[in-house]
Amino acid sequence: MSESVPLCSSLSEIYTNDLLKHGARFQSLTQAFIDTYGFKPSFIARAPGCVNIIGEHIDYCGFPVFPMAIVPDFLIAVRATDESLVRLANLNPKYEASTFSCAPHTAVTINKTQHEWTNYFKCGYKGAIDAVGCAKPYGMQCLIDSSVPASSGLSGSSALVCSALLATMKVNGKALSQRDIVEIAVACERLIGINGGGMDQTASIMSHPQSAMFIEFDPVLRVTPVKFPSTTPPIAFVIANTLVVSDKAVTASVCYNLRVVETRIGALLLAKHLGIADRSVCKDVDPLTFKIVMDEYLSAEDCGGSDCNSDNDYDDDGKTEGIESWISRLDTMLKEVQKAFGTHPEGYTREEMALALNMTPAELSAAIHEDKFPVQAEKFKLLQRAQHAFSEALRVVRFRQICESGDTNTDYFQELGELMNQSQDSCRDLFECSCDELDELCSIARRAGAFGSRLTGAGWGGCTVHLIPASNVDGFIAVLKEEFYAKHTPELKGDALDDAVFVTAPASGAAFYEFS
């Protein structure tokens, strides 16, 4: 069983730097709670945002990713009550206070057509109550504060869901392992209408300070802390927000959920192309992912009797054991992707996909669960989406391999940075989840000395992440402020500008702060 979420009585157990700043924030939240509800909160639930260093849009394909938690986070100050109400308030005046019933046998409803901030809290609340079978939940007074920019690609929505789930569990005296909490958070966030994977929730709950996380999803969830190489000067990462808002829930049918559907239909057609669609591992699973297709096709039966499955690619200590197997298998699949979809570089219509799968369009719609996650497209670009998924997985594996190599002759800045740049190119050209501002910011960053620059998060706006030498941080940020922010958002000054572009390091995962 994985560890439980830590209980902390000192902020030094949560944050490694700027303790006075964090202390002032916690005190401000506590006083605001008293001003709002007339009582001191019992505890604060904390869940951080995260930045994905590499591995975009492939968690829901079953492939590993490489994120790290960041310091910006969601805090929920909480007090249990005997009334059958959950009261929500937010320090940000943009978000109105709200109340919903938690009376026994009262269903918590989430209206996906109304894009309200409280829906994310309700997802976490409902996930917790349903998972632990709480027949008579306590009422809750909650005050929420966030330092994660909204709709920025830094997993703020998942951090809110996770912190709400944690708060609800603790109020009701329930405790689960980190792994169980992640699985609940992934499932309940889909109630909002986002057909996502599990990277954001895993990174928010299970991250370790000073380490990025190599997260595997198939055949089981497995998290391996990976430290960045020791270099002179040290490696640093700068996050820069384009300030182009991209709300996954609002644009899901033409952006995020559409990409999920394209990879899911791609997996179905790829399995048929490879002659394995009728095998139970492909036929009886929902959803079928590219990772499942790859593992089944390259199982012992299909690669000369040698076990090519990825289950043993890493040993118990998490050290790279079968990297070359990963690389070989992913290269093989990229060739098969070209054979399977290369005849339709412009994409497939619904009718063409249904015909290829021996389905009616209605049956195809049911197979991809459009009743829950509707999508809109004239053509589905299966070739490009599959090419991105398999090549991005290859970059993630190579990124970890380089980090763990310990080779003193390796130019870590150059090699890791090049993988990040290739990822951005693939996100832009194959997965089409970039935008003009993201492309411009990455271009400016590379001219300013970034070895690697790419979008992070869902894309279509939001944030970028840049690999630079720590000695160049101040000058690098100054160039971004002058060449990008002064041009696009000249009104942004002071703390607001500093919040848009900042250096970051791997931070700790979720925690409870208990008042001593």
Residue by residue, DSSP assigns 46-59 as EEEEEEEEE-TT-G
173: amino acid identity, one letter: G
Longest dimension (CA), the chain: 71
* Secondary element (H or E) of residue 501: strand 501-504
Give residue 264's pLDDT.
97
3-state class (DSSP) for residue 175: coil
CA angle 431/436/439 to nearest 5° reads 70
319: left (phi over 0), alpha (psi -120 to 50) or beta: beta
State yes or no: pLDDT of 360 exceeds 90. yes
pLDDT above 90 coverage of the chain, percent: 84
Q: Is 147:188 a contact under the CB 8 Å cutoff? A: no
Average pLDDT over residues 249-277: 95
Give residue 150's pLDDT.
81
The residues that bridge with 4 in the sheet, in sequence order, are: 177
Give residue 2's pLDDT.
67
Question: What backbone phi and psi angles, to 5 degrees, belong to 388?
Answer: -65, -50
Average pLDDT over residues 404-428: 96
Residue 94 is given by DSSP the state: T
- Look at 72-76, 191-195, 394-398 and tell me which has the smallest mean pLDDT: 191-195
The answer for residues whose C-beta is within 8 angstroms of residue 168's C-beta and 6 or more apart is: 124, 125, 128, 129, 137, 140
283: amino acid identity, one letter: K
311 tagged catalytic: no
State yes or no: pLDDT of 388 exceeds 90. yes
Give residue 316's pLDDT.
45
Average pLDDT over residues 149-165: 90
State yes or no: pLDDT of 149 exceeds 60. yes
State yes or no: pLDDT of 366 exceeds 70. yes
CA angle 241/242/243 to nearest 5° reads 85
The residues that bridge with 73 in the sheet, in sequence order, are: 48
State yes or no: pLDDT of 86 exceeds 90. yes
Give residue 313's pLDDT.
52
Query: Closest by alpha carbon to 52, among 445, 483, 464?
Result: 464
**C-alpha 182: how far from chain center:** 12
- Residue of 200, 218, 295, 439 with catalytic role: 200
Average pLDDT over residues 455-474: 96
Give residue 310's pLDDT.
45
134: amino acid identity, one letter: C
* Secondary element (H or E) of residue 159: helix 156-171
Tallying the residues shown for the chain, one arrives at: 516
